[in-house]
Amino acid sequence: MVEIIAGKFEKAMKKGFISTLILMVLEKEPMHGRQIKKAIEERTFGGWEPTDSTIYTILKDLREKNLIVPTNIPGTDEKTIAYEITDDGKNTLGIMMKKEQEIRESMRSIITSTFGIKDELSGTELNEFFEQRSPFARVAHNPDEIETLQILEFQKTFLKKRVEILNQKLQKIEDKITKLDDKNRNEEIS
C-alpha cells in the first residue's frame, strides 16, 4: 500500500516537473513533441529522459488547459503538430518558477543541515550548486560546453565533499558501535 502511495506521489511530481520543463522549452520557440523531448534531455544532461507517451500525454493535458496551442512551423510536415505557449501558459510558468525556487530553498536548508555542508562550502558555492542542479535553470538557459563543464566540475566537487562528510559521520557511528560492543563484551565477561 505504501509503495502505491509513494508511486503516485512520484508520478505527480514527475508530471509537474515535465509540464514545467515543456512550458519553458516552448517559451523559447514553438516545437513539436520530438524536439521538446530532445531539448529536455539535452538541457538536463540526460537527467530527464521522458518517454514519448509521457511527452504526448502532458502536451494533451497542457493543450486542454489552454497553456499551449497547436501552431505551424514553416518547413515541417503538415502532419507534425507543433505547439506554442499561450499567455496563460506564460503566467502559469511564472508561478511555477517561483514555486520551484521556494522548494529549492527548502531543499537547500534540509541538505545543508542534514549533511553539515553549510560549514564546508561558502554560501556562494551553495547558491551556485543549487542553481545549477535545477533542471529548470538549465532549460531556461541552454549552457554552452564551457558552462556545462563548469557545472559538472562543481557538481563533482560538491559530491566528493558530501562523500567525505558522510564517511566521517560513518566513522563516528562505527566508533560508537565498537565502543558499545566492547562494553557489552566486558560486561559479559565480568
pLDDT tens-place string over residues 58-83: 999 999 999 999 998 777 777 788 99
Residue 185 CB contacts under 8 Å (≥ 6 apart), including other chains = none
**Bigger pLDDT: 2 vs 62:** 62
Residue 121 lies in a domain: yes
Residue 189 lies in a domain: no
pLDDT band at 112 (very low <50, low <70, confident <90, very high): low
Q: What is the pLDDT of residue 161?
A: 77
Find the range with the poorest average confidence among 9-13, 22-26, 30-34, 110-114. 110-114
Residue 181 lies in a domain: no
pLDDT tens-place string over residues 152-181: 776 677 678 778 878 888 888 898 889 888
Q: What is the pLDDT of residue 122?
A: 46
Q: What is the pLDDT of residue 84?
A: 94
Average pLDDT over residues 12-28: 85
CA distance 171 to 47: 32
Average pLDDT over residues 26-50: 85
pLDDT tens-place string over residues 118-155: 544 445 555 555 554 455 554 555 567 777 777 677 66
Beta strand pairing status for 31-32 and 68-71? unpaired
Q: Which three cell numbers stand for residue 159?
A: 559530491
CB 69 within 8 Å of CB 84: yes
**Bigger pLDDT: 137 vs 25:** 25
- Which domain does 109 fall in, by range? 2-176
Q: What is the pLDDT of residue 117?
A: 56
Residue 47 lies in a domain: yes
Residue 186 lies in a domain: no
Overall domain count for the chain: 1
Residue 185 lies in a domain: no
Residue 190 lies in a domain: no
**The domain spanning residue 164 has which CATH number?**
1.10.10.10
